[in-house]
Amino acid sequence: MKIYVPMDSAAKALGAEDVVAALRAADPKAEIIRTGTRGMIWLEPLVEVEIDGVRHGFGPAEPGDVAGILDGTSAKALGPVEELDWMKRQTRLTFARVGVIDPLSLDDYQAHGGLKGLRIALDLSAQQVVDEVKTSGLRGRGGAGFPTGIKWQTVHDAEAPQKYIVCNADEGDSGTFADRMIMEGDPFTLIEGMAIAGLGVGATKGYVYLRSEYPDAIAVMTRAVELARAAGVLGHDILGSGRAFDMEIRKGAGAYVCGEETSLLNSLEGKRGVVRAKPPLPALEGFLGRPTVVNNVISLATVPVIFEKGAQHYADFGLGRSRGTVTLQIAGNVARGGLFETAFGISLGEVVNDLGGGTASGRPVKAVQVGGPLGAYMPVSKFDTPLGYEEFDQAGGLIGHAGLTVFDDGTDMLGMARFAMEFCAVESCGKCTPCRIGAVRGVETLDRIAEGDAAALPLLTDLCETMTDGSLCALGGFTPFPVMSAVTHFPDDFARQKEAAE
Amino acid sequence: MPASADYDAAELKLIIAAHQSLEGPLLPLLHAIQDSFGHIPAKAHAQICDALNITRAELHGVISFYHDFREAPAGRHVLKICRAEACQSVGGNELAEGLLSKLGLDWHGTTPNGAVTIEPVYCLGLCACAPAAMVDDRVVGRIDADRLDRLLAEAGA
Ligand SMILES: Cc1cc2nc3c(=O)[nH]c(=O)nc-3n(C[C@H](O)[C@H](O)[C@H](O)COP(=O)(O)O)c2cc1C
Ligand code: SF4
Ligand code: FES
């Protein structure tokens, strides 16, 4: 009997190890295969049993459910996993293998299309590799949405004795976990994507800067790099091509700002993670002053499928200038949280109400913060906004890394605005005054508003303008998004406090 | 979390030697030192600076910039509780504050018996099964007050 149980940290956090122990005890002969997660976190730990070649799901499983799972009588039976609504409605390109394969089996990986993209890229010229990425329309999934092919072109065109591929795996945004899920569930796809990037721009060395808050992802990625090297996927002669590419996993040290690419590069060099002024662009003077591609995990992990299926195939999905798929992460106070990969263009309301099933508390939704701690709080009145870079921009928000955090009507938006300022103050790199000092003033000003000081609200608006205009990076520059969106869309939460004090 | 060991110059020398040839060796080196000694001992600064050819001010600047590096050892276990938005949306704040006041500790405080240090963390990537926490390297989702009590008991607090 073949049984699949995720080893993703969300599944572990919900008791997957206890379920595995119970399965082993109940049926010592069962073959238990550890996988990533399918992304249906509300069903984790999701145990899958193969029956006549079809994987049937049982979840959320507890150790006491094991007997019923093994004899097929469990009340937690969900039927064939691929037939579940959540799975059928997705377009899984980047996440095609996550939850399906053993993350650390290169054989499994190749049996599911892995390394095809790299083999195709090895037969192309460097310029053709870059052109393919341009044709796909892929834009950076780390937040800013910059066209990946154009970034690669700059590095490709730069002359230098050494170039680098740096993967930004700092994923500090609350409400996001797509990077973690793919690194734990399909690490070879990131390795393959980085190798293709190396071929495209002429870089032979790569680094993954992975946040220390993700010990499971660090362990899986580290092992995957060793396995890839042993199998000749990495090294001085990748897949026997005579071309070289190798990489290292580097652990962050708990600074949110190190997700900003220049701060990340300083950190990688062993310095304080202070943001660098641009220019020079990292593409020209990046790691150790050399031309460097800095890309998000999902950007790089999407590259293999673009080569495997063809750039046009990828570009055919999407909306406007947002091509391909977006890996939505549905989080917070939501009935069905998890990862859902779909073409750009789905509306915010469909994601929250239809996919997410509304709040976990059963109370009405009040706001959804989209794009992490620097993203706006979207009210229910904006639920028709389609998920697309430009569309969200027009609606006064941003997609960022595509995390959506749902809040119910019990939420105090003044408190959330205060937290945004507090977070900025704690995590500021200290380089510019509007961010370093402004965020501290922001917390004080919000405390005054909470105490009923009406004169403080215009001060807050001014302060936010100063932060927007005078900050070097988006930490100081975008903190006004959550703050001012809360003020604009939920004025009662800022006025009610005033009345209470009067 | 490793038990805090005394500073050992010979062991430090080996750790430095293992990292010196990396590109950008300082962060991996500091992590390795902290893994072995439980913190970055002040006594180790001179040796690190000599090996990497950096000033004491530079080294201190780096150690103090990052939340992860400790200048003194933590408790035998570290309990990190997520304070970020997704965890707040399902009551993470109230949970953390309740625990801290019950223990009579502030963030970064250690229980009197030295068993557990409580630290804030901003997102563990468990935002779809919030509120989340981590004991040393073990992740825990959908925590409530009972679960926190059990985690603390297991850690000997
Ligand atoms: C404060 C701050 C934090 C950031 N955090 C991340 C992060 O955790 N991961 C990430 O990929 N990009 C992050 N970014 C964006 C990066 O600076 C950069 O745009 C990105 O890594 C480029 O990769 P991409 O083009 O593939 O998106 C952050 C930016 C700022 C200003
Ligand atoms: S805005 Fe803040 S985090 Fe960004 S560079 Fe300025 S001080 Fe540093
Ligand atoms: S916000 Fe707490 S785990 Fe992400």
Query: Of the residues B90, B93, B124, which should be mutated to test ligand 3's pocket, given the most ligand atoms within 8 Å of the CB?
Result: B124
Cβ–Cβ gap A177/B139 under 8 Å: no
Give CATH for domain B77-155: 3.40.30.10
From residue A293, give the alpha-carbon distance in Å to each of A70, A243, A315: 49, 18, 22
Calculate the average pLDDT of chain A: 96
3-state class of A254 per DSSP? coil
Tokens 């899984």 map to which residue?
Answer: A92
Tokens of B26: 């300082």
Find all residues with CB under 8 Å of A62, minimum gap 6, and list them: A15, A18, A19
CA distances from A160 to A151, A154, A243, A261, A328 (A): 16, 12, 17, 20, 38
If you measure from the C-alpha of residue B75 to the centroid of ligand 1, how many angstroms do you get, rounded to a whole number?
33
Give the DSSP H or E segment for A319.
strand A318-319
pLDDT at B1: 42
Which residues 288-317 on chain A approach chain B with CB closer than 8 angstroms? 288
Write the Ramachandran bin of A318: left for phi over 0, alpha for psi from -120 to 50, otherwise beta.
Answer: left
Cα(B85) to centroid(ligand 3), Å: 7
What 3-state DSSP class applies to A268?
Answer: helix
Tens digit of each residue's pLDDT (9 = 90 or more) over A127-150: 999 999 999 999 999 988 999 999
Q: Which among A12, A212, A338 is the nearest to B128, CB-wise?
A: A338
pLDDT confidence bin for A502, thresholds 50/70/90: very low
Are the Cβ atoms of B89 and A256 closer than 8 angstroms? Answer: no
| ipTM value | 0.96
Confidence of residue A321 (pLDDT cuts 50, 70, 90): confident
CA torsion A27-A30-A13-A257 (nearest 10°) is: 160
Positions of chain B with pLDDT lower than 70, given as ranges: 1-6
The per-residue pLDDT for range A166-217, each reduced to its tens digit, is: 999 999 999 999 999 999 999 999 999 999 999 999 999 999 999 999 999 9
d(CA A39, CA A37): 5
pLDDT value at position A53? 94
A432-442: per-residue pLDDT in tens? 999 999 999 99
pLDDT in tens, A345-358: 999 999 999 999 99
* CA A377 / ligand 2 centre spacing (Å): 22
pLDDT over 70 at A499, yes or no: no
- Best residue among B83, B88, B93, B123 to mutate for probing ligand 3's pocket (most ligand atoms within 8 Å of CB) is B123
Distance of CA A456 to the CA centre of its chain: 36
Q: Would the pLDDT of A45 be above 70?
A: yes
CB atoms within 10 A of CB A282: 24
Ligand 2 centroid, distance to A476 Cα (angstroms): 5
Inter-chain touch A330–B140, beta carbons under 8 Å: no
A331/B141 touch (CB, cutoff 8 Å), yes or no: no
pLDDT at residue A1, as a whole number: 87
Q: Give the C-alpha separation, B66 to A254, whole Å.
A: 6
What is residue B157's predicted lDDT score, i.e. its pLDDT?
A: 86
Average pLDDT, chain B: 94
Per the CB < 8 A criterion, the answer to whether B67 and B27 are in contact is no
Please judge whether B130 and A332 are an interchain contact, meaning their C-beta atoms are less than 8 angstroms apart. yes
* B62 with A173: Cβ contact below 8 A: no
A392-396, A429-433, A498-502, B43-47: range with lowest mean pLDDT = A498-502
Task: Say if residues A407 and A367 touch (Cβ distance below 8 Å).
Answer: yes
- For A270, the token pair is 């062993």
Q: What is the pLDDT of residue A500?
A: 52
Share of chain A above pLDDT 90, in %: 95
pLDDT above 50 for A28: yes
Three-state secondary structure string covering chain B: CCCCCCCCHHHHHHHHHHHCCCCCCHHHHHHHHHHHHCCCCHHHHHHHHHHHCCCHHHHHHHHHHCCCCCCCCCCCEEEEEECCHHHHCCCHHHHHHHHHHHHCCCCCCECCCCCEEEEEECCCCCHHHCCCEEECCEEECCCCHHHHHHHHHHCCC
Query: Is the CB of residue A357 less than 8 Å from the CB of residue A350?
Result: no
pLDDT digits (tens, 9 = 90+) for A54-110: 999 999 999 999 999 999 899 999 999 999 999 999 999 999 999 999 999 999 999
Q: Which residue ranges make up each domain of chain B?
A: 9-65, 77-155
**Phi, psi at residue A370, to the nearest 5°?**
-110, 130
Assign A438 to helix, strand or coil: helix
Whether residue A250 lies within 8 A of chain B, CB to CB, comes out as: yes
Query: Which among A467, A455, A464 is positioned nearest to A484, based on CA atoms?
Result: A464
Contact B32/A at CB under 8 A: no
pLDDT, tens digit (0-9, with 9 covering 90-100), for A233-263: 999 999 999 999 999 999 999 999 999 999 9
Length of chain B: 157
R_g (Cα) of chain B, nearest Å: 18
How far apart are the C-alpha atoms of B29 and B35, rounded to whole Å? 10
Ligand having the closest approach to the CA of A214: 3
Examine the pLDDT at A496 and tell me if it is beyond 70.
no
Sign for the CA dihedral angle at A367, A368, A370, A373 comes to positive
Task: Map tokens 């608006």 to a residue.
Answer: A461
Interface test with B, best of A182, A213, A260, A352 (most B CBs within 10 A): A213
Per-residue pLDDT of A260-284, as tens digits, reads 999 999 999 999 999 999 999 999 9
